[in-house]
Structure 1
Amino acid sequence: MYDTPEDLKQRLSMAVQSGPDAGSSDFDLNPEMSLPQARKLRPAGVLVPISLASGAPRVTLTKRSSALKHHPGQIAFPGGKVDEGDRDVTHTALREAWEEIGLPQDLPEVLGALPTHETVTSFTVTPVVALLRSEFDIRPEAGEVAEVFSVPLSHVLDPANYIIESRRWRGTRRRYYTVPYGPYYIWGATARMLRQFADRMQS
């Protein structure tokens, strides 16, 4: 897909820096749903870590603990809400990745951020894209992370791998993206952010 790591870095940098857009939302595929104009959204940052350490680029993801209040048991990027002491959402994403999976904060080569994503749980999430050029000792935080795994970057950047599914949510039929990989059912906010990433890489 890419000849060299530097070629990949250039393509990724172009994708994240290609200019702002309206962002994405968990409600994208449900235009009939009306959102309150006065809704209060909490800022959050997640890291999209792309590892080059084992040959073909792979994206590191987590399976959230089933005991968590928000999105229990779902596939997610390492990350979380912005704390008062965080400098910005990039600092949040790096801090949370260290806390959740043991990723040293000086290892990721941050390339930039994708447009924000609004979740059904009232967060506005900024996905921060970064390259990992070496491996690290993965240490899942037991209270938050049930599993850490990776998927090929080529898989999540191929729009043909995305499926639109639906389920009942708060009395209505809600549609959402999925991008399954092996035993992992990647859906909802994570799949939507990845789909936006895939679209920007195609342009």
Structure 2
Amino acid sequence: MNEPMLKNDPAAINSAEFFDRSRARLGFDVPPGLVDPNIIPKSGDQGTDRMLEIIAREQPVRPAAVLIPVVDHPQPTVLLTQRAAHLNDHAGQIAFPGGKIDSTDASPLDAALREAEEEVGLNRKFVEPIGYLDLYATGFGFRILPTVARVKPGFRLSINKSEVDDAFEVPLAFLMDPANHQVHSKEFRGMERSYYAMPFAERYIWGATAGILRVLYERICLT
């Protein structure tokens, strides 16, 4: 029977246990579905899975990588960004540092680290990559491979305003508490599909970002 790691007090999340579990459960094998349209990443939602099958037939696969930067404070946080309002895709939405994988990137990990440096100036010397989370697909054809990483405190950010309006930290305990995982639904071509949202103060975390955080909870915070 699965039980949450955070049994009584979500605010008491143990960062050492979180990172130890992440190291034990994650690795750096690149899933073939990152580039293969015939492999459809499963979401756990029937409507979403059907949508992803349709999208894979109609659009080219768009490989992408993001960094899940967990800052190793006594009460750890996750560093997130707010995308610039003028962007064509997902303007103003809450996101992880990351973007499409370029041909010059040595790996999805390298792409995630590069994007984090370009978007918010997160220096690689503060980042300890731990491993890839499950591949996450979106309705826009993106195949996103997230890298979970431990970030040493003391870094200074430099926001690239052409890509990002803001960067901020959210307590990991809040994001890993299933009580904060709202489930909503929307229609796709007559089919109902569900998605997660995790509102935090004035920030509305939803869509792929919330979905990836939910996967992180399921992979690391459940025994």
TM-score category, normalised to shorter length: 0.7 to 0.9
Taking the aligned partners of 1:72 and 1:101, their CA distance within structure 2 comes to: 16
Q: 2:169 aligns with which of 125, 135, 150?
A: 150
Alignment partner of 1:9 is 2:28: no
Taking the aligned partners of 1:98 and 1:138, their CA distance within structure 2 comes to: 9
Task: Return the offset for 1:42.
Answer: 1.3
Q: Give the 3-state SS of the residue equivalent to 1:184 in structure 2.
A: coil
Alignment check: 8 A CA contact 2:82 2:92 kept: yes
Q: TM-score, normalised by structure 1?
A: 0.87
Alignment check: 8 A CA contact 1:26 1:176 kept: no
CA RMSD of aligned residues (A): 2.6
**What's 1:41 paired with?**
61
For structure 1, the residue ranges without an aligned partner over 5 or more in a row are none
- Which letter does structure 2 place at the counterpart of 1:157? M
Alignment check: 8 A CA contact 1:112 1:129 kept: yes
- Which letter does structure 2 place at the counterpart of 1:8? F
**What's 1:163 paired with?**
182
Higher helix share: 2
Taking the aligned partners of 1:92 and 1:24, their CA distance within structure 2 comes to: 23
**What's 1:84 paired with?**
103
Task: Return the offset for 1:76.
Answer: 0.3
Change (3 A) 1:178 1:80: same
Q: Give the 3-state SS of the residue equivalent to 1:106 in structure 2.
A: helix
1:22-81, Cα deviation, whole Å (9 max, x unpaired): 8455976545545155342111110000101x4210000001011111111110000000
Taking the aligned partners of 2:43 and 2:61, their CA distance within structure 1 comes to: 12
Q: Which moved more, 1:66-75 or 1:173-182?
A: 173-182
Alignment check: 8 A CA contact 2:79 2:170 kept: yes
Alignment check: 8 A CA contact 2:42 2:49 kept: no
Taking the aligned partners of 1:41 and 1:140, their CA distance within structure 2 comes to: 29
Task: Return the offset for 1:135.
Answer: 1.9
Alignment check: 8 A CA contact 2:13 2:75 kept: no
Taking the aligned partners of 2:86 and 2:189, their CA distance within structure 1 comes to: 21
Taking the aligned partners of 1:24 and 1:57, their CA distance within structure 2 comes to: 29
Change (3 A) 1:95 1:69: same
Task: Return the offset for 1:106.
Answer: 2.3
Task: Return the offset for 1:190.
Answer: 0.4
Q: Which moved more, 1:29-38 or 1:173-182?
A: 29-38
1:108-149, Cα deviation, whole Å (9 max, x unpaired): 000001011111211100000101122211111101101101
Alignment check: 8 A CA contact 1:26 1:189 kept: no
Q: Which moved more, 1:34-43 or 1:59-68?
A: 34-43
* Residues 1-203 of structure 1: pairs in structure 2 closer than 5 A: 1-3=12-14, 5-17=15-27, 23-25=41-43, 30=48, 33=51, 35-38=54-57, 39-52=59-72, 54-167=73-186, 174-201=193-220, 202-203=222-223
Alignment check: 8 A CA contact 1:159 1:199 kept: no
Q: Give the 3-state SS of the residue equivalent to 1:71 in structure 2.
A: coil
Taking the aligned partners of 1:97 and 1:132, their CA distance within structure 2 comes to: 12
